[in-house]
Chain A
Amino acid sequence: MGLDVAFFFRILIFPGFLFLFTFTLFCDWFERKIMARMQNRMGPSYTGPFGILQPLADYIKLLTKEDIIPHHARRFLFTLTPIVSFSLSMLSIFCFPLDGMNIFSNRGFEGDLLFVLALVTFAHFLLFLSGWSSSNPYGWIGAARIITQFVGYDIPLIISTLGPAYLAGSLSLAKISSSQTVPFALLTPWTFILFLISLQAELEEDPFDVPHAETEIVAGYGTEFAGRKLAFIRLSKDTQIIFGAALAATLFLGGPYGPVFFNPPNFWFIVYFALKVLFVIAVLEFVEAVCARLRIDHVIRGNWRVIVPASLISLILTVISSPYIRFLMEAQI
């Protein structure tokens, strides 16, 4: 039974649900704060030191609000989608090797990279369903935009994850991250940049935030959500950002492995992982701050004409230069 206690501790407390939830809130605060500083604003500053508790306060406030379901909404889907979307995003983060192992105390299985990508695509599809089921014109347009955008950008995203997978010779997240003696971001920067662009589109951040462009379609797919459901939708979005940043950190920045280690190593694994995630988030936010929103047709055309061919070329480039890259990696060892 002792084993079970440790197992549940890992899943529920550290580095499982509770830790990830706290980290999500922290990242939300971090995002808002750096965004605000880049825009000459204060950002959250009242709740807790430096306003660090503001996201928590927001969620608590949302949980206390009246929960409204519109008359014509598909009630079942409308209620279910926020929860399932959040759970799926959380589950996909569980599969990452947060401290060398994933949350389930093993090193994952061959192909869990594809598994998490499938999970997160499914989570996006649920966001589409949530907009579709809300029976609101803004929700419909937002849902249509979300599905158009994701169908397009999932392809370059998956193609660019194949680069690191090829170099590591594995489709396992743990193996890819442990094989990086030198981060792949330095060895194959072309793939990393393309990956970040498609990630930006996947996470609906500027300049790709068309599915919830406030000034055009109010809140897009989330227009009709209120109270607890809105809280879950927002949590799901925040978790997806962590997922995206964690994917970038695992595939391109060496996952939880850092240059120097102290005891206990498990703790430092987490620290390095968190720092890398925050770094990726900072990059994403910087791009968001300096860009205006594109139009949906720009987004789609840009995808099929530029990003998809470019990601294919970058994959070819990675394969061609792989002997050289492998040599560099071994030289490091």
Chain B
Amino acid sequence: MKAMTPEEEAANIVKGALGEYVLESKIPKPRRVYIHVKPEANKKAVSTLLQSFPCAIISTITGIDLGETIEINYHFWCGKAEVTIRTNVPKSKPKIETITDIIPGALLYEREVHDLLGVKFINHPNLARLLLPESWPENSYPLRKDWNPKHVGNLAYSLEKTITLGETRTEKNAGLLVNVIVGPQHPALHEPERFLFKLDGEIVVDVEPRLGYAHRGIEKGAERLMFFQDVHLIERVCGICNVAHTTCFCQAVETLGKIEVPPRAQYLRMIVHELNRIHSHLLLLGIVGLEIGFESLFQYLWRDREIVLDLTEKLTGNRVMAEYSTIGGVRRDLTPVLGDEIKRGLRKIKDRLSFYREIFQSDPTVELRTKGIGMLSEEKALKLCVVGPVARGSGVKSDVRKHDPYAAYEDAPFREVLYKDGDSWARLMVRLDEVGESIDIITWAVDNIPGGPFRTRVPRRMPKREALSRVEAPRGELIHFVRGNGTAYPERVKIRSPTLANIISFREMIRGCYVADIPAVLASLDPCFSCTDRMVFLDEKSGRKWVWTLNDLKARRRI
């Protein structure tokens, strides 16, 4: 008898436990499993899965409006396969049991689905708005197919309501605690986001993050554009890890249409992806230098980052927004001369890297500010389902490139960087070491790149199927779930950026730390809020109403 593959194993475990509650199960592709269960058995399916795979984490929850029903997909990564548990709830009464009590990492995903599709999760501890503003009308769910911007009406965005959010929570010792609001505009945050910190003197007691200040409605927008146009929209999800987003989306669409990508394109994608990672990691390490008040480190790191940006420009034509991957391949070829230049530039960075490693390992002030600060233990990391360098800094194996290889990573020689410490320092060192690994990958890829075409022609229409693609973005696991409907337009595009998975752990890390640690710990997460807040279509005209005009400001000015 043939040994069972992990995918079959997962499917059989759930089937065995649930019996007739399983409606359907399929394995369309290695490492992808879809199991359709009845809504009442949903929670049991999840708990069975978690019990049989102790290191399973929830990737995200996707909601899709099917007209009569709303389909809810729970995506889990079980160490060897991505298992999707699917269930349908009626649109008239969209209610389902929460799973947050068995897996707390699902907190934000359930709130997201509730926010955008109106599914009520019974017994969820805090089913508040995640991305939409507080004044968004009830019963208006932007990701439903019958939604129309007119439903929102005149969005009277009340500033008072937004500011008092969170402070209404009364505590017994409220008199002793100070509420400090950090953001939406704050020098330590490079993107608009708001955190409400409860301070006892200089010590942080609790924090409430509020996401959603950078909505652009990309998921909704993607449904209104054709696949090949979507590539350029998806590119704009995030400025820094744009290559990860396009690669992920293109892979999903290629799986959808069963398109074979030429091997040369796979290698080129990997090269640009890794250049992108180096640039992102150096950027973050520089920002950490700035956050802990080490400006010289910041300036040095960002100067060296210029080398990578120049190389990216030479290869792709753009410094930051690469616009490189496309459905069916890449847009530009690599010449041997440029290959040598890339290798030379990276050698320079590698030399500098040993200098930076020495700084991070031995500088006493850096050590004081990062070692033992912002602890996240391995169990907590698993429970909260963190991804990327944050997970690897706590010793959780989570590198998608290693465990779920895509592009040419199956052949590339590299090491998954793991640190056991679980503090800010470990998270930074993971990134520092990954830069070295990325340099090795690129050098190897340039030497071993196969010949042939770098792009194939693809049809515009995509069949009625679905595909889930995972890549290791610089900040962690990035997931795109794409469903086609037989036309050139996607039925649904779901993006789960790594920051949404990681932001939940910030609360865990920062409790008991000092105010001065807030920026350094937050930066060690490498949060990217423009990635995280992209799901909502907001009517610009009415949404802008809360902004005070110059005359308003003048009227309020004290003369």
A291 CA to B364 CA in the complex, in Å? Answer: 9
Interface residues of B in 430-475 (CB under 8 A from A): none
Q: Which residues of A contact B292 (CB under 8 A)?
A: 292-293
Q: What is the CB-to-nearest-CB distance from B296 to chain A, in angstroms, rounded to a whole number?
A: 5
Taking each of A214, A293, A295, A296, which has the highest tally of chain B beta carbons within 10 Å of its own beta carbon?
A295
Instruction: Determine whether the beta carbon of B187 is less than 8 Å from that of A293.
Output: no
A40 CA to B303 CA in the complex, in Å? Answer: 8
Interface presence of A38 (CB below 8 A): yes
Q: Which residues of B contact A213 (CB under 8 A)?
A: 293, 516
Interface presence of B558 (CB below 8 A): yes
> Which partner residue on chain A sits nearest B515 by CB separation?
A216
> Which partner residue on chain A sits nearest B302 by CB separation?
A40
Q: Pick the contact of B188 from A40, A206, A216 — CB < 8 Å? A: A216
Q: Which residues of B contact A193 (CB under 8 A)?
A: none
Interface presence of B299 (CB below 8 A): yes
> Which partner residue on chain A sits nearest B189 by CB separation?
A215
Interface presence of A141 (CB below 8 A): yes
Interface residues of B in 282-340 (CB under 8 A from A): 289-297, 299-300, 303
Interface presence of B144 (CB below 8 A): no
Interface residues of A in 281-320 (CB under 8 A from B): 289-298
Interface size class of B (residues with CB under 8 A): 20 to 34
Interface presence of A209 (CB below 8 A): yes
What does the 1/0 interface line of A66-96 toward B look like (CB < 8 Å)? 0011110000000000000000000000000
Interface presence of B368 (CB below 8 A): yes
Instruction: Determine whether the beta carbon of A215 is less than 8 Å from that of B291.
Output: yes
Interface presence of B365 (CB below 8 A): yes
Taking each of B181, B296, B369, which has the highest tally of chain A beta carbons within 10 Å of its own beta carbon?
B296
Q: Which residues of A contact B519 (CB under 8 A)?
A: 215-216
Q: What is the CB-to-nearest-CB distance from A137 to chain B, in angstroms, rounded to a whole number?
A: 5
Instruction: Determine whether the beta carbon of B303 is less than 8 Å from that of A295.
Output: no
Q: Which residues of B contact A71 (CB under 8 A)?
A: 558
Interface residues of A in 181-229 (CB under 8 A from B): 206-207, 209-210, 213-218
Instruction: Determine whether the beta carbon of B299 is less than 8 Å from that of A41.
Output: yes
Q: What is the CB-to-nearest-CB distance from A57 to chain B, in angstroms, rounded to a whole number?
A: 22
Q: Which residues of A contact B296 (CB under 8 A)?
A: 38-39, 289-290
Instruction: Determine whether the beta carbon of A216 is less than 8 Å from that of B518.
Output: yes
A192 CA to B429 CA in the complex, in Å? Answer: 37
Q: Pick the contact of A209 from B187, B293, B518 — CB < 8 Å? A: B293
Q: Pick the contact of B180 from A137, A207, A289, A298 — CB < 8 Å? A: A137
Taking each of B295, B299, B558, which has the highest tally of chain A beta carbons within 10 Å of its own beta carbon?
B295
Instruction: Determine whether the beta carbon of B365 is less than 8 Å from that of A292.
Output: yes
A214 CA to B289 CA in the complex, in Å? Answer: 13
Q: Which residues of B contact A206 (CB under 8 A)?
A: 293-295
What does the 1/0 interface line of B517-530 toward A look like (CB < 8 Å)? 11100000000000
What does the 1/0 interface line of B354-371 toward A look like (CB < 8 Å)? 000000000101101100
Instruction: Determine whether the beta carbon of B293 is less than 8 Å from that of A69.
Output: no
Interface presence of B537 (CB below 8 A): no
Q: What is the CB-to-nearest-CB distance from B506 to chain A, in angstroms, rounded to a whole number?
A: 16
A67 CA to B558 CA in the complex, in Å? Answer: 10
Q: Which residues of B contact A217 (CB under 8 A)?
A: 515
Interface presence of B348 (CB below 8 A): no
> Which partner residue on chain A sits nearest B181 by CB separation?
A137
A40 CA to B295 CA in the complex, in Å? Answer: 11
A69 CA to B515 CA in the complex, in Å? Answer: 27
Q: Which residues of A contact B297 (CB under 8 A)?
A: 292
Q: Which residues of B contact A41 (CB under 8 A)?
A: 299
Q: What is the CB-to-nearest-CB distance from A8 to chain B, in angstroms, rounded to a whole number?
A: 38
Instruction: Determine whether the beta carbon of A293 is less than 8 Å from that of B178.
Output: no
Interface size class of A (residues with CB under 8 A): 20 to 34
Instruction: Determine whether the beta carbon of A293 is less than 8 Å from that of B300.
Output: no
Interface residues of B in 484-540 (CB under 8 A from A): 514-519
Q: Which residues of A contact B517 (CB under 8 A)?
A: 295
Interface presence of B260 (CB below 8 A): no
Interface presence of B202 (CB below 8 A): yes
Interface presence of B172 (CB below 8 A): no
A209 CA to B514 CA in the complex, in Å? Answer: 16
A216 CA to B204 CA in the complex, in Å? Answer: 13
Q: Which residues of B contact A210 (CB under 8 A)?
A: 516
What does the 1/0 interface line of B258-298 toward A look like (CB < 8 Å)? 00000000000000000000000000000001111111110
A293 CA to B300 CA in the complex, in Å? Answer: 17
Q: What is the CB-to-nearest-CB distance from A10 to chain B, in angstroms, rounded to a whole number?
A: 40
What does the 1/0 interface line of A31-70 toward B look like (CB < 8 Å)? 0000000111100000000000000000000000000111
Instruction: Determine whether the beta carbon of B295 is less than 8 Å from that of A39.
Output: yes
Q: Which residues of B contact A215 (CB under 8 A)?
A: 187-188, 290-291, 293, 519
Interface presence of B557 (CB below 8 A): yes
A70 CA to B557 CA in the complex, in Å? Answer: 8
Interface presence of B186 (CB below 8 A): yes
Q: Which residues of B contact A39 (CB under 8 A)?
A: 295-296, 299-300
A71-B558, A215-B188 known; A297 vs B294 contact (CB < 8 Å): no
Q: Which residues of A contact B186 (CB under 8 A)?
A: 218
Instruction: Determine whether the beta carbon of A293 is less than 8 Å from that of B294.
Output: yes
Q: Which residues of A contact B295 (CB under 8 A)?
A: 39, 206, 289
Instruction: Determine whether the beta carbon of B187 is less than 8 Å from that of A218.
Output: yes
A141 CA to B516 CA in the complex, in Å? Answer: 11
Instruction: Determine whether the beta carbon of A68 is less than 8 Å from that of B293.
Output: no
A214 CA to B293 CA in the complex, in Å? Answer: 8
> Which residues of B come within 8 Å of A, CB atoms?
178, 180-181, 186-188, 202, 289-297, 299-300, 303, 363, 365-366, 368-369, 514-519, 557-558
> Which residues of A come within 8 Å of B, CB atoms?
38-41, 68-71, 137-138, 141, 206-207, 209-210, 213-218, 289-298
Q: A39-B300, A71-B558 are in contact. List 16 more A-B contacts (CB 8 A).
A: A38-B296, A137-B178, A137-B180, A206-B295, A213-B293, A214-B187, A214-B188, A215-B291, A215-B293, A216-B515, A216-B516, A218-B187, A289-B295, A292-B368, A292-B369, A294-B369
15 residue pairs of the A-B complex, CB under 8 angstroms, read A39-B300, A68-B558, A137-B180, A206-B294, A209-B293, A215-B519, A218-B187, A292-B289, A292-B293, A292-B294, A292-B363, A294-B369, A295-B368, A296-B516, A297-B202
Q: Which 7 A-B residue pairs are closest in the complex by CB-CB distance? A: A293-B293, A292-B294, A292-B365, A39-B299, A215-B188, A215-B519, A295-B516
